[in-house]
Structure formats: C-alpha cells, structure tokens
Homo-oligomer: A and B are copies of this chain.
Amino acid sequence: MKLVNLYNKLRPELIKIENQLQKEVDSDHLLLKQTAQHLLEAGGKRIRPIFVLLAGKFGNYDFDKLSKVAITLELIHMASLVHDDVIDNADTRRGYPTVKAQWDNLTAMYTGDYILARSLILISQFDNQEIHKILSKAIVQMVEGEIEQIRDFYNVDQDLPNYLKRIKRKTALLISVSCQLGALAVDTPRQHIINIKRFGYNVGMAFQITDDILDFTATSEQLGKPAGSDLKQGNITLPVIYALQQKENPMLAKELRNLIASPKLANNIEHAIQLVKQSGGLEFSTKLSDQYLAKAFDVLQELPDIPARKHMYDIAAFIGKRDY
C-alpha cells in the first residue's frame, strides 16, 4: 500500500485531529491567533499523529485518548519548529513563509512559547503521570539538542557520534515518544510498547538523515525552502561530516574545510555542495539511513501481525525512498 492510501484510510481521524489542533491554538489574542493559524495552514506531514494512531492499534484503540496524545505531540513539534526557524534564520518552510519571516523573531519566540504552553494544558489533562514524565523529559532533551545545534554551527571538527546524538534529540526522540505514548495511552502490553518505541527511534533517525541528504539532492520546489540551505547557514550535517573526515581525498576535505571557515561561504555554496557530492558523503548517509530502516523493519517483526504493522512498514519504506 502506498502512503497516500494510508492517509486516505486515516482521513476521518486526521480531519478530527486537524480541527482539534485549530481549536487548541485559538487565542483571544489576534496576533497569536494569526501566527498559530499560519503555522497550521503551512501544514506538515502530521507524521507524529499518524504514529500515535498506529501505535494505539496494538492496545485497546480509543480515538479520544489517542487524539489528545497526538495533538499534544504535534503542538510540541510545532513549537520546536518555530524556535528552530529563528535559530536557522529560515524564511520559508514547506513553501510557506516562516513566522519569523512574516512577522519577526520576537513574535516567533512567543508564538513558540504560546503553542508549547497550550500543549502543557493538554498534558495536564492526562491522568497518567508516566505520560507527563516522558513528555517533559523529551522536551528538555529536544531543547538541549537545539542548543547543541547552535554550538555546532560551522564546527568542522564534529564527528559521527556527535551528529547522531544531535539528530536523536532533534527528531528521533519525539517520533519515538509518539509511538511510545500512542501505545501507552491505550494500555498496550509492555513488551509491545518497548518495540514500538524502538521502531519510532530508528525510523526517526532515518527520517532526519534523509532530510539532511535531501537538502543536497532535492530541488527548492520539492523542499519548500532553498536547497543547500543547511550548509549555507553553517548547519554541518552527515554528508558534510563524512566529506570532512574521509581520508581518501585529503585535498577535498581541506578545500571544503576552508570554504566552510570562510566568510564567503554563501557565495561559494555551489562549489561546497559539489565537493560534498564528490566525497561520497551522500552515499554514506544513504547507507546509514538504510541501516536504521533495516533495524526498524526488524523490530516490526517482533510485533503482532495486524494491519497497523503493515502501515508502519509502509511509512518506514516511504521514508527510505522519499524525494521531498
């Protein structure tokens, strides 16, 4: 089954979640209402809600419980995106102007605060303390990941473990938590929860590595933001780390290192991208992403053979092949 069929299948639930998201970010305050609506309209794949719903199929599926979890997670994700756009100085995301571009950095900061705060109200409605703890720890780690990202901007000496830790916190963690909490909210057996969580982690890692590859290979139209913008703004992702660290072509590594260190990086970005492509960094990254996906598939085998398992398989397979 293709991913679009999965979306079609989940459509009634996703529409309800979308409507609820609208309600949750509503504010008496006009500016906050506008920025939050703008974010919602800019869309997104709603991957986290989908994982919550699918994970819930392994327990006593209850849409009311699951939708609360799904909306909370999507709000946390949205809040992190708005602050992320400030850090990345990003003007577009998914083809839409970002809040910081359409308004300004301060408005983006408070829009993020506001959406996070709205998610806290939702969290306060769960009577399961374990859910609270998991969510609050995840938020702490996400913030630590974001601030590590700032520290590592233009840092040409970072290595693979460093990168993996960063993307775990930036992306894999919340996807993993989406899977875990979807299962947890509807009393799924413990052993299944552990596996569903591991699935989410591995898919999340592959998802972010693929994102970092696409920044080099996709067109600006496909990305909804300028291609090559990660490197341009000093965000050193896996393909670049590989190019900088490989031993086969030390001249290439040195040239790239100098380009990144130069204040004229933005002017020479096309050349820098070419060097990364020549280095084999994209192939290495694809291989690593595939390894995470393979782990995700393995974990799925441990789960009961219900349709949701097949859907999770489809999503993971899609992530490995997506070109946007």
Contact = CB atoms under 8 A, between A and B. Distances in A.
Interface of A: 27-29, 31-32, 83, 86-87, 105-107, 109-114, 116-118, 120-121, 123-125, 127, 129, 132-133, 135-137, 139-140, 142-144, 146-148, 150-151
A133 to B, nearest CB: 5
23 contacts: A28-B144, A29-B144, A29-B147, A31-B147, A32-B147, A83-B109, A86-B106, A109-B109, A110-B146, A110-B150, A112-B113, A114-B140, A114-B144, A116-B116, A117-B142, A117-B143, A118-B140, A120-B139, A121-B133, A121-B140, A124-B135, A127-B129, A132-B132
Contacts of A114: 140, 143-144, 147
A305 B139 CA distance: 43
Contacts of A151: 31
Contacts of A127: 129
A147 B107 contact: yes
A31 B127 CA distance: 35
Nearest to A104: B150
Number of copies: 2
Contacts of A113: 83, 112, 116, 143, 146
Contacts of A112: 113
A143 B86 contact: no
A146 B107 CA distance: 10
Given A29-B147, A114-B140, A106 B124 contact: no
Contact of A105 (B31, B105, B117, B148): B105
A148 B29 CA distance: 8
Nearest to A150: B106
Contacts of A140: 114, 117-118, 120-121
A87 B125 CA distance: 31
Given A29-B148, A87-B110, 13 more contacts: A106-B150, A107-B147, A110-B147, A110-B150, A113-B143, A113-B146, A117-B143, A120-B123, A120-B136, A120-B139, A121-B136, A123-B136, A124-B135
A33 to B, nearest CB: 11
A109 B109 CA distance: 7
B83 A143 contact: no
Nearest to A80: B113
A118 B123 CA distance: 15
